[in-house]
Amino acid sequence: MHTRTVGPFTVSAVGLGCMSMSWGYGQADDATSERLLQEALDAGYSFLDTAAMYGMGHNESLIGRSLSHRRDEFILASKCGIARGEDGNLSVDGRPEIIKRTCEQSLQRLQTDVIDLYYLHRLDPDVPVEESVGALAELVAEGKVRTIGLSEVSSDTLRRAHAVHPITAVQSEYSLWVRTPERRMLATCRELGVSFVPFSPLGRGFLTGCARDLNHLEEDDIRTNVARPRFEPDNFAANQQLLAPFGEIARQQGCSMAQLAIAWVLAREAGTLVPIPGTKHIEYMRENAAAGDIRLEPAVVAQLDQLINEQTVQGERYNAQLMATIDSERD
């Protein structure tokens, strides 16, 4: 797999999103996940993405016990800013004291002295981004964090944050069927010299062609609740009509549908993006890694652009309640 840069770091062109090993897509097996993480480094992954809220610390602990002895082999990204309140419910919390406390807890779970890239997971509407980033900047000064990132923010928020402390990367959902960053964020990142890290490049599994039957989804799968609109029966049936021609293009390119979806992201923005597809399956991890060396001709990229985009896909990416709270949707 070739390498790319995220701020000062040289990383694998395809990173590994670790969330599904702990939360979001049904139950995962810890023994399998530990083996997956080991084999991912062997397969060439050198950019791992986690967060404090993934399994409420479980994911960070999983990475810590699995890979602490190989800490110098990968760039580690984690996130703060979503915490469990006294009522037991998760909520966005960007207060400086919460950010600092979360970082200390994450360092312990990850069994490391420093987090390479530390994101504010979501913008807290009740806390100015300048205050949250100020706390992150203090963590950099203390040597606990090397660089700062933001997740799911608007261009205006990025500019405000960048004025307080240099922002290394912005992470947001970006794929053939989610084009929100194309409105302004990608251009803003180019202007400011900020890296862009797309999550869910596989459209939450839809673009792999494997999610053909909604009946297999577990009750705690986010595609049955917050990310449900595109998986509602009518929308899902309409969106499935896109998969046959998409699969044919993949066949012509000699790759899987998942690899084609990742290769499309890799081809964007003059080849500067570093997608982080997530999985809890070892075979899919290896399949995704192979996408790192696929080169698509411009004509193929254009063909894919025309086939799958926000005009041809039915349904929003999140339910209405969540969509109203996401800062990146304000771009």
Exposed e or buried b for every residue in 73-105, given b needs 16+ CB within 10 A?
ebbbbbbbbbbeeeeeeeebbbbbebbbebbee
Considering only CA atoms, give the Rg of the chain. Answer: 19
For the cut 80, the answer to whether the pLDDT of residue 227 exceeds it is no
How far is it, in rounded angstroms, from Cα 92 to Cα 280?
Answer: 26
What confidence score (pLDDT) does residue 221 get? 74
Please write the tens of the pLDDT for every residue from 128-176. Answer: 999 999 999 999 999 999 999 999 999 999 999 999 999 999 999 999 9
Q: Is 198 helix (H, G, I), strand (E, B) or coil?
A: strand
Q: Give the count of beta carbons closer than 10 Å to the beta carbon of residue 32.
A: 13
8 Å CB contact between 81 and 51: no
Where in the sequence numbering do the catalytic residues fall?
54
What confidence score (pLDDT) does residue 25 get? 81
Q: Give the count of beta carbons closer than 10 Å to the beta carbon of residue 56.
A: 15
Mean pLDDT of the chain: 94
Residue 81 φ/ψ, nearest 5 degrees: 105, 0
CA atoms within 13 A of residue 231's CA, in its CB half-sphere: 23
For the cut 70, the answer to whether the pLDDT of residue 184 exceeds it is yes
How far is it, in rounded angstroms, from Cα 309 to Cα 319?
Answer: 19
Strand partners, 54: none
What confidence score (pLDDT) does residue 308 get? 97
Residue 262 φ/ψ, nearest 5 degrees: -70, -40
325-to-153, 185, 213, 259 alpha-carbon distances in Å: 11, 17, 30, 32
Nearest to 197 by CA among 258, 278, 131: 278
Please give the structure tokens belonging to residue 219: 């009750």
What confidence score (pLDDT) does residue 213 get? 65
Q: How far is CA 206 from its chain centroid? A: 16
8 Å CB contact between 83 and 102: yes
How far is it, in rounded angstroms, from Cα 88 to Cα 61?
Answer: 20
Please write the tens of the pLDDT for every residue from 237-280. Answer: 999 999 999 999 999 999 999 999 999 999 999 899 999 999 99
Domains belonging to the chain, first-starting first, are 3-203+265-294 (3.20.20.100)
Would you place residue 212 in the very low, low, confident or very high pLDDT band (cuts 50, 70, 90)?
low
Query: Across 121-244, where does the E strand assignment appear?
Result: 145-151, 169-173, 195-199
What confidence score (pLDDT) does residue 225 get? 72
Specify the higher pLDDT residue, 21 or 319. Answer: 21
How far is it, in rounded angstroms, from Cα 168 to Cα 299?
Answer: 32
Please write the tens of the pLDDT for every residue from 38-50. Answer: 999 999 999 999 9
How far is it, in rounded angstroms, from Cα 168 to Cα 127?
Answer: 21
Q: Give the count of beta carbons closer than 10 Å to the beta carbon of residue 265.
A: 21
Q: Is 175 helix (H, G, I), strand (E, B) or coil?
A: strand
Lowest mean pLDDT among 31-45, 71-85, 174-188, 283-297: 71-85
Please give the structure tokens belonging to residue 178: 């989610």
What confidence score (pLDDT) does residue 215 get? 66
Nearest to 96 by CA among 126, 68, 127: 127
